[in-house]
């Protein structure tokens, strides 16, 4: 690994527990190609090490991982360096698959932002621990992209139509919502997070689920806002087409439905179409098949005007006013 990656990823084994710390706090741990390669090499090296678990955490309280370094992907696309972008996505998706198939449990400690690539690092592991500061989302349609890192596998497998809702709108989940959906498995207060590694090391013969439950505070899941609108989510986002989703949301005439419509209206129409089709097929395919399909899509999507414009508006100029190639779905605005 490069010297930079060695600083941005801290890894060691202590008392039978492997620990990987994401250490790029100023960038909210946005994943670079070097970081992805470094994590992958560490996990590969540890496969022959007798471990009871692997922890993935962050040195920052603001973010577990805010996603991939999409600004660099955009720069590579503008420079015509498609190979660099493809190498990044291919290595990231290989890492996602490695985590899913890892021989010992992978436990992610999610404190702060966890978006896009951050979910790729965490959701494929055995356990996802959230704190009261956790915020999870797949916001890719808002930057002219699509939910990747295996999202076409894990979102369709969430209860009801929750996955379609999250993938299309980029809705942000707090700890209660993350637990309700199953994207998170355990809740531990932020001030108790440092104890997780030692507890796992102290109890190598106990099931990890039991050890994590001992550390858990009172679960906030009863306060899930998503649970309160679950019936409407399932009815609206189970519709077979985007136009029908819109009609059902308009029919509801509730604050939640209005917010969902606004999220769709602000997203890239092309990204919405790609995402809807991708998630609709994902339930019938394995994780590796979904990752392969996503990789194929990245090759064309990162060259589109909507991707270049979406990243510009969100991360470069930060004006939050993308000018999408088409301002509507199917030739008409969503809210018309």
Q: Enumerate the active-site residues.
A: 68, 117, 140, 148
With the CA atoms of 310, 312, 316 and 320 taken in that order, what torsion angle do they form, in degrees rounded to the nearest 10?
-60
Tell me the C-alpha distance between 4 and 306, whole Å: 31
List C-alpha distances in Å: 293 to 96, 274, 331: 14, 12, 27
Tokens representing 291 are 């990752």
Report which of 207, 197, 218, 63 is spatially closest to residue 134, judged by C-alpha positions: 63
Taking CA 30 as the corner, what is the angle to CA 274 and CA 41, rounded to the nearest 5 degrees?
Answer: 100
How many Cβ atoms sit within 10 Å of the Cβ of residue 263? 18
- Report whether 129 contacts 212 (CB < 8 A): yes
> For the residues of 219-266, what is the DSSP string, one character each?
--GGG-HHHHTHHHHHHHHTSSSHHHHHHHHHHH-SHHHHHHHHHHHH
Residue the block writes with tokens 């009801």: 160
| Cβ neighbourhood burial of 273 (10 Å; 0-12, 13-18, 19+) | middle
């Amino acid at each position: 690994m490069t010297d930079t990656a060695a600083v941005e990823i801290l890894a060691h084994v202590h008392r039978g527990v492997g620990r990987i710390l994401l250490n790029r706090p100023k960038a909210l741990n946005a994943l670079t190609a070097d970081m992805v390669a470094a994590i992958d090499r560490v996990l590969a090296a540890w496969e022959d090490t007798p471990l009871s678990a692997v922890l993935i955490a962050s040195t920052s309280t603001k973010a577990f991982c805010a996603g991939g370094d999409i600004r660099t992907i955009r720069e590579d696309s503008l420079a015509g360096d498609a190979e660099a972008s493809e190498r990044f996505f291919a290595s990231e998706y290989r890492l996602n698959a490695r985590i899913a198939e890892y021989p010992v449990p992978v436990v992610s400690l999610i404190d702060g932002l966890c978006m896009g690539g951050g979910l790729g690092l965490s959701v494929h592991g055995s356990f996802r621990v959230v704190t009261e500061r956790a915020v999870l989302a797949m916001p890719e349609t808002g930057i002219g992209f699509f939910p990747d890192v295996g999202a076409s596998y894990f979102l369709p497998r969430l209860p009801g139509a929750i996955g379609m809702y999250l993938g299309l709108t980029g809705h942000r989940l707090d700890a209660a919502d993350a637990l309700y959906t199953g994207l998170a498995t355990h809740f531990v207060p932020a001030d108790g997070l440092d104890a997780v590694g030692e507890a796992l090391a102290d109890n190598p013969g106990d099931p990890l689920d039991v050890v994590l439950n001992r550390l858990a505070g009172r679960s906030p899941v009863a306060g899930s806002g998503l649970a309160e609108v679950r019936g409407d989510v399932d009815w609206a986002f189970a519709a077979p087409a985007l136009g029908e989703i819109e009609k059902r949301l308009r029919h509801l005439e509730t604050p939640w439905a209005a917010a969902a419509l606004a999220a769709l209206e602000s997203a890239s129409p092309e990204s919405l179409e790609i995402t809807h089709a991708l998630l609709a097929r994902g339930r019938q395919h394995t994780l590796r098949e979904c990752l392969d399909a996503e990789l194929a899509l990245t090759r064309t999507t990162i060259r589109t005007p909507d991707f270049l414009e979406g990243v510009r508006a969100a991360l470069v100029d930060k004006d939050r006013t993308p000018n999408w190639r088409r301002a509507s779905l199917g030739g008409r605005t969503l809210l018309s």
